[in-house]
Structure 1
Amino acid sequence: MRSPVFGAQLYGPMKEAREQCIAIEGMQPSVFKALLHFIYTNSLPEMDDLEAGDRSELIRHMLVAADRYAMDRLNLMCQSILCDDLNVENVATILALADQHHCDMLKDACIEFMSSCAMGDVVETKGFADLKRSCPSILVDAFVKISKHKHK
Protein backbone atom coordinates (compact mmCIF):
# COMPACT_ATOMS: atom_id res chain seq x y z
CA MET A 1 0.00 0.00 0.00
CA ARG A 2 1.42 3.40 -0.97
CA SER A 3 -0.15 5.19 2.01
CA PRO A 4 0.35 3.92 5.53
CA VAL A 5 -2.44 6.27 6.63
CA PHE A 6 -4.94 4.69 4.22
CA GLY A 7 -3.61 1.28 5.26
CA ALA A 8 -4.37 2.02 8.90
CA GLN A 9 -7.79 3.41 8.04
CA LEU A 10 -8.75 0.42 5.89
CA TYR A 11 -7.11 -2.47 7.70
CA GLY A 12 -5.98 -1.28 11.10
CA PRO A 13 -7.72 -0.87 14.41
CA MET A 14 -8.93 2.64 13.54
CA LYS A 15 -12.64 3.33 13.62
CA GLU A 16 -12.74 3.72 9.83
CA ALA A 17 -11.72 0.07 9.36
CA ARG A 18 -15.08 -1.02 10.72
CA GLU A 19 -17.07 1.30 8.47
CA GLN A 20 -18.19 0.76 4.89
CA CYS A 21 -17.10 4.24 3.75
CA ILE A 22 -14.26 6.55 4.64
CA ALA A 23 -15.04 10.24 4.37
CA ILE A 24 -12.26 12.33 2.81
CA GLU A 25 -12.71 15.83 4.15
CA GLY A 26 -11.01 18.99 2.98
CA MET A 27 -9.82 17.73 -0.40
CA GLN A 28 -11.05 18.74 -3.83
CA PRO A 29 -12.40 15.87 -5.94
CA SER A 30 -9.80 16.50 -8.67
CA VAL A 31 -7.00 16.20 -6.12
CA PHE A 32 -8.44 12.97 -4.70
CA LYS A 33 -8.80 11.58 -8.21
CA ALA A 34 -5.14 12.38 -8.91
CA LEU A 35 -4.18 10.83 -5.56
CA LEU A 36 -6.05 7.63 -6.42
CA HIS A 37 -4.36 7.57 -9.82
CA PHE A 38 -1.00 7.70 -8.09
CA ILE A 39 -1.97 5.02 -5.56
CA TYR A 40 -2.98 2.60 -8.32
CA THR A 41 -0.30 3.40 -10.91
CA ASN A 42 2.64 4.84 -8.93
CA SER A 43 2.67 7.72 -11.42
CA LEU A 44 1.14 11.15 -11.77
CA PRO A 45 -1.91 11.54 -13.98
CA GLU A 46 -1.59 13.22 -17.37
CA MET A 47 -1.90 16.98 -16.97
CA ASP A 48 -1.34 18.11 -20.54
CA ASP A 49 -4.85 19.54 -20.77
CA LEU A 50 -4.30 21.85 -17.77
CA GLU A 51 -2.97 25.37 -18.07
CA ALA A 52 0.32 26.03 -16.25
CA GLY A 53 -1.34 27.78 -13.29
CA ASP A 54 -3.93 25.03 -12.86
CA ARG A 55 -1.24 22.35 -13.11
CA SER A 56 0.87 24.06 -10.46
CA GLU A 57 -2.15 24.44 -8.18
CA LEU A 58 -3.01 20.74 -8.56
CA ILE A 59 0.59 19.79 -7.74
CA ARG A 60 0.54 22.03 -4.63
CA HIS A 61 -2.68 20.33 -3.47
CA MET A 62 -1.19 16.92 -4.21
CA LEU A 63 1.84 17.82 -2.09
CA VAL A 64 -0.49 18.60 0.81
CA ALA A 65 -2.32 15.29 0.26
CA ALA A 66 0.98 13.41 0.07
CA ASP A 67 1.97 14.87 3.42
CA ARG A 68 -1.44 14.13 4.93
CA TYR A 69 -1.35 10.48 3.81
CA ALA A 70 2.40 9.92 4.36
CA MET A 71 3.14 9.21 0.70
CA ASP A 72 6.86 9.99 0.52
CA ARG A 73 7.41 9.22 -3.17
CA LEU A 74 4.50 11.43 -4.23
CA ASN A 75 5.75 14.14 -1.89
CA LEU A 76 9.20 14.10 -3.51
CA MET A 77 7.73 14.06 -7.03
CA CYS A 78 5.56 17.09 -6.24
CA GLN A 79 8.49 18.92 -4.65
CA SER A 80 10.59 18.30 -7.74
CA ILE A 81 7.91 19.63 -10.08
CA LEU A 82 7.37 22.70 -7.92
CA CYS A 83 11.15 23.36 -7.84
CA ASP A 84 11.10 23.46 -11.64
CA ASP A 85 8.05 25.77 -11.69
CA LEU A 86 9.40 28.48 -9.36
CA ASN A 87 9.00 32.05 -10.50
CA VAL A 88 8.94 35.50 -8.93
CA GLU A 89 5.16 35.42 -8.50
CA ASN A 90 4.89 32.05 -6.74
CA VAL A 91 8.16 31.60 -4.83
CA ALA A 92 6.95 33.12 -1.54
CA THR A 93 3.72 31.11 -1.60
CA ILE A 94 5.60 27.90 -2.35
CA LEU A 95 8.14 28.71 0.37
CA ALA A 96 5.28 28.93 2.89
CA LEU A 97 3.86 25.63 1.64
CA ALA A 98 7.29 23.97 1.85
CA ASP A 99 7.77 25.16 5.40
CA GLN A 100 4.29 24.13 6.50
CA HIS A 101 4.72 20.60 5.13
CA HIS A 102 8.40 20.14 6.09
CA CYS A 103 9.65 19.92 2.51
CA ASP A 104 13.30 20.79 2.96
CA MET A 105 14.31 20.23 -0.67
CA LEU A 106 11.59 22.59 -1.88
CA LYS A 107 12.29 25.13 0.84
CA ASP A 108 15.99 25.22 -0.10
CA ALA A 109 15.09 25.59 -3.78
CA CYS A 110 12.83 28.54 -2.98
CA ILE A 111 15.55 30.24 -0.96
CA GLU A 112 18.13 29.63 -3.67
CA PHE A 113 15.70 31.00 -6.29
CA MET A 114 15.10 34.09 -4.16
CA SER A 115 18.85 34.65 -3.80
CA SER A 116 19.30 34.50 -7.57
CA CYS A 117 16.59 36.97 -8.55
CA ALA A 118 15.75 40.59 -7.85
CA MET A 119 14.30 40.53 -4.33
CA GLY A 120 12.47 43.77 -5.06
CA ASP A 121 10.26 41.88 -7.51
CA VAL A 122 9.55 39.10 -5.00
CA VAL A 123 8.78 41.59 -2.22
CA GLU A 124 6.10 43.19 -4.40
CA THR A 125 4.06 39.98 -4.75
CA LYS A 126 0.90 39.09 -2.84
CA GLY A 127 2.52 35.82 -1.76
CA PHE A 128 5.35 37.71 -0.08
CA ALA A 129 2.90 40.02 1.73
CA ASP A 130 0.92 36.99 2.92
CA LEU A 131 4.09 35.22 4.06
CA LYS A 132 5.37 38.33 5.86
CA ARG A 133 2.06 38.64 7.71
CA SER A 134 1.45 34.97 8.50
CA CYS A 135 4.93 33.63 9.19
CA PRO A 136 7.71 36.19 9.29
CA SER A 137 10.14 33.70 10.85
CA ILE A 138 10.36 31.86 7.51
CA LEU A 139 11.52 35.08 5.88
CA VAL A 140 14.11 35.68 8.57
CA ASP A 141 15.48 32.15 7.99
CA ALA A 142 15.44 32.72 4.23
CA PHE A 143 17.25 36.05 4.45
CA VAL A 144 19.90 34.59 6.78
CA LYS A 145 20.51 31.72 4.32
CA ILE A 146 20.58 34.12 1.35
CA SER A 147 23.04 36.38 3.17
CA LYS A 148 25.34 33.43 3.98
CA HIS A 149 25.03 32.16 0.39
CA LYS A 150 26.01 35.55 -1.09
CA HIS A 151 29.01 35.94 1.22
CA LYS A 152 30.63 32.61 0.29
Structure 2
Amino acid sequence: MARPSREQFDKKKVVAENRRARFDYFIEEVFEAGIVLTGTEVKSLRFGEGSIAESYAEVKNGEVWLVNSNVPEFSHGNRFNHQPKRLRKLLLNEREISKFHGAVERKGMTLVPLSVYFNGRGRAKVELALAKGKNVADKRATIKERDWKRDQQRIMREYK
Protein backbone atom coordinates (compact mmCIF):
# COMPACT_ATOMS: atom_id res chain seq x y z
CA MET A 1 0.00 0.00 0.00
CA ALA A 2 1.35 3.42 -0.95
CA ARG A 3 1.98 6.16 1.56
CA PRO A 4 -0.67 8.88 1.72
CA SER A 5 0.08 12.23 0.14
CA ARG A 6 1.27 15.18 2.22
CA GLU A 7 -2.26 16.49 2.88
CA GLN A 8 -3.42 13.18 4.34
CA PHE A 9 -0.91 13.06 7.21
CA ASP A 10 -2.86 13.48 10.44
CA LYS A 11 -1.11 16.48 12.02
CA LYS A 12 -2.74 17.40 15.30
CA LYS A 13 0.00 19.50 16.90
CA VAL A 14 2.94 20.81 14.87
CA VAL A 15 5.97 21.31 17.11
CA ALA A 16 8.69 22.43 14.69
CA GLU A 17 8.75 23.35 11.02
CA ASN A 18 11.61 23.77 8.59
CA ARG A 19 10.19 26.54 6.41
CA ARG A 20 13.57 27.21 4.81
CA ALA A 21 13.65 23.70 3.29
CA ARG A 22 11.02 24.50 0.66
CA PHE A 23 13.09 27.49 -0.44
CA ASP A 24 16.45 25.68 -0.52
CA TYR A 25 15.30 22.37 -2.08
CA PHE A 26 13.07 20.93 -4.77
CA ILE A 27 10.83 18.54 -2.81
CA GLU A 28 10.42 15.28 -4.74
CA GLU A 29 8.59 12.98 -2.30
CA VAL A 30 7.32 13.34 1.26
CA PHE A 31 7.24 10.52 3.83
CA GLU A 32 6.01 10.21 7.39
CA ALA A 33 8.43 8.60 9.83
CA GLY A 34 8.22 7.77 13.49
CA ILE A 35 10.98 9.03 15.75
CA VAL A 36 12.61 7.27 18.71
CA LEU A 37 12.59 9.62 21.71
CA THR A 38 13.32 9.38 25.41
CA GLY A 39 10.78 10.48 28.05
CA THR A 40 12.18 13.96 28.66
CA GLU A 41 12.41 14.61 24.90
CA VAL A 42 8.72 13.85 24.49
CA LYS A 43 7.83 16.19 27.36
CA SER A 44 9.99 18.94 25.90
CA LEU A 45 8.34 18.53 22.48
CA ARG A 46 4.86 18.58 24.02
CA PHE A 47 5.69 22.01 25.47
CA GLY A 48 6.39 23.16 21.88
CA GLU A 49 10.15 23.33 22.17
CA GLY A 50 12.43 21.97 19.48
CA SER A 51 14.05 22.96 16.22
CA ILE A 52 14.87 21.19 12.96
CA ALA A 53 16.09 24.28 11.10
CA GLU A 54 19.59 22.98 10.33
CA SER A 55 18.92 19.26 10.53
CA TYR A 56 19.04 16.52 7.93
CA ALA A 57 18.69 12.75 7.83
CA GLU A 58 21.22 10.15 6.75
CA VAL A 59 21.20 6.43 6.09
CA LYS A 60 23.77 4.43 8.10
CA ASN A 61 23.92 0.63 8.35
CA GLY A 62 20.38 0.16 7.06
CA GLU A 63 18.89 2.70 9.49
CA VAL A 64 17.85 6.33 9.04
CA TRP A 65 19.10 8.87 11.62
CA LEU A 66 18.02 12.45 12.21
CA VAL A 67 21.15 14.56 12.60
CA ASN A 68 21.53 18.00 14.21
CA SER A 69 17.96 18.37 15.43
CA ASN A 70 17.67 20.32 18.65
CA VAL A 71 15.28 19.29 21.42
CA PRO A 72 16.22 21.38 24.47
CA GLU A 73 16.52 19.76 27.87
CA PHE A 74 13.28 19.46 29.81
CA SER A 75 13.14 22.16 32.48
CA HIS A 76 11.77 19.81 35.17
CA GLY A 77 14.03 16.92 34.18
CA ASN A 78 16.40 15.33 36.64
CA ARG A 79 19.92 13.96 36.21
CA PHE A 80 18.63 11.59 33.52
CA ASN A 81 17.79 14.45 31.16
CA HIS A 82 18.65 13.94 27.49
CA GLN A 83 21.35 15.54 25.33
CA PRO A 84 19.81 18.29 23.16
CA LYS A 85 21.55 17.52 19.83
CA ARG A 86 21.89 13.75 19.90
CA LEU A 87 21.25 11.48 16.89
CA ARG A 88 17.65 10.26 16.77
CA LYS A 89 16.60 7.10 14.97
CA LEU A 90 13.73 7.35 12.49
CA LEU A 91 11.30 4.47 12.07
CA LEU A 92 10.65 3.54 8.43
CA ASN A 93 9.89 0.45 6.37
CA GLU A 94 12.77 -1.54 4.90
CA ARG A 95 11.60 -0.63 1.39
CA GLU A 96 11.60 3.09 2.17
CA ILE A 97 15.07 2.91 3.70
CA SER A 98 16.48 1.18 0.62
CA LYS A 99 14.77 3.77 -1.59
CA PHE A 100 16.36 6.58 0.43
CA HIS A 101 19.76 4.91 0.32
CA GLY A 102 19.60 4.52 -3.47
CA ALA A 103 18.43 8.09 -4.05
CA VAL A 104 21.11 9.60 -1.83
CA GLU A 105 23.93 7.45 -3.25
CA ARG A 106 23.06 7.50 -6.96
CA LYS A 107 21.06 10.66 -7.56
CA GLY A 108 22.75 12.97 -5.05
CA MET A 109 19.54 13.78 -3.23
CA THR A 110 19.14 14.83 0.40
CA LEU A 111 16.81 13.74 3.19
CA VAL A 112 15.35 16.89 4.74
CA PRO A 113 12.92 16.99 7.69
CA LEU A 114 10.03 19.37 6.96
CA SER A 115 8.20 19.24 10.29
CA VAL A 116 7.94 17.46 13.63
CA TYR A 117 4.42 16.93 14.94
CA PHE A 118 2.17 14.75 17.07
CA ASN A 119 -0.45 12.75 15.18
CA GLY A 120 -3.98 11.96 16.31
CA ARG A 121 -2.81 9.04 18.44
CA GLY A 122 -0.28 11.21 20.29
CA ARG A 123 2.79 9.76 18.57
CA ALA A 124 5.70 12.01 17.58
CA LYS A 125 6.26 11.95 13.83
CA VAL A 126 8.68 13.55 11.38
CA GLU A 127 7.66 14.63 7.91
CA LEU A 128 10.71 13.67 5.84
CA ALA A 129 11.29 14.80 2.26
CA LEU A 130 13.49 13.39 -0.46
CA ALA A 131 14.83 16.60 -2.00
CA LYS A 132 17.28 17.97 -4.53
CA GLY A 133 19.18 21.18 -3.80
CA LYS A 134 18.45 24.40 -5.67
CA ASN A 135 21.11 26.64 -7.12
CA VAL A 136 21.10 30.46 -6.87
CA ALA A 137 19.18 30.97 -10.12
CA ASP A 138 16.42 28.59 -9.00
CA LYS A 139 16.11 30.46 -5.72
CA ARG A 140 15.78 33.75 -7.61
CA ALA A 141 13.05 32.24 -9.76
CA THR A 142 11.23 31.08 -6.61
CA ILE A 143 11.39 34.60 -5.14
CA LYS A 144 10.20 36.10 -8.41
CA GLU A 145 7.26 33.68 -8.62
CA ARG A 146 6.28 34.30 -4.98
CA ASP A 147 6.35 38.09 -5.50
CA TRP A 148 4.26 37.79 -8.67
CA LYS A 149 1.64 35.67 -6.85
CA ARG A 150 1.48 38.30 -4.10
CA ASP A 151 1.03 41.07 -6.69
CA GLN A 152 -1.69 39.05 -8.42
CA GLN A 153 -3.60 38.74 -5.16
CA ARG A 154 -3.24 42.48 -4.53
CA ILE A 155 -4.50 43.31 -8.04
CA MET A 156 -7.48 40.95 -7.67
CA ARG A 157 -8.43 42.52 -4.33
CA GLU A 158 -8.33 46.02 -5.85
CA TYR A 159 -10.31 44.87 -8.89
CA LYS A 160 -13.25 43.58 -6.82
Same fold (TM over 0.5): no
The structure whose RCO (Cα within 8 Å, separation 6+) is larger is 2
More helix, by proportion:
1
Normalising by structure 1, what TM-score? 0.22
Normalising by structure 2, what TM-score? 0.21
